[in-house]
Amino acid sequence: MPYRYYTADVFTDQIFGGNPLAVFPDARAIDPEQMQHIAREFNLSETVFVLPPEQGGTRRLRIFTPQVELPFAGHPTVGTAFVLAAIGDISLTGERTEIVFEEGVGPVPVTVEARNSQPVSCTLSAAQMPEYGPEPPAAADLAAVLSLETRAIAAPARAISCGVPFLFVPITNLDALGRIRLELTQWQRVLGGAWASMIFAFVVGADPERADYLRARMFAPSVGVLEDPATGSAVTALAGYLALEDPLVHGTCSYLVEQGVEMGRPSFLNLQYDLQDGQLTAIRVGGRVVLVSKGEFGPGTRP
What letter represents residue 40's amino acid?
A: R
What letter represents residue 226's amino acid?
A: L
What letter represents residue 78's amino acid?
A: V
What are phi and psi for residue 301, nearest 5 degrees? Answer: -75, 160
Residue 293 CA to residue 165 CA, distance in Å, equals 31
Torsion angle in degrees (nearest 10) through CA of 159, 266, 207, 169: 20
Contact 138, 186 (CB under 8 A): no
The residues, any chain, with a CB within 8 Å of residue 56's CB and separated by 6 or more, are 100
Active-site annotation holds for 135: no
Which contiguous run of DSSP H or E holds residue 167?
strand 165-170
| Max Cα–Cα distance, the chain, nearest Å | 57
The string of DSSP letters for 183-238 reads -HHHHHHHHTT-S--SEEEEEETSBTTBTTEEEEEEEEGGGTEEEES--HHHHHHH
Angle between helices 232-245 and 74-86 (to 10 degrees): 130
Q: Centre a 10 Å sphere on the Cβ of residue 140 and count the other Cβ atoms it contains.
A: 11
Beta partners for residue 294, in sequence order: 6
Q: Which of 46, 102, 227, 258 is catalytic?
A: 46
Q: Which residues are catalytic?
A: 46
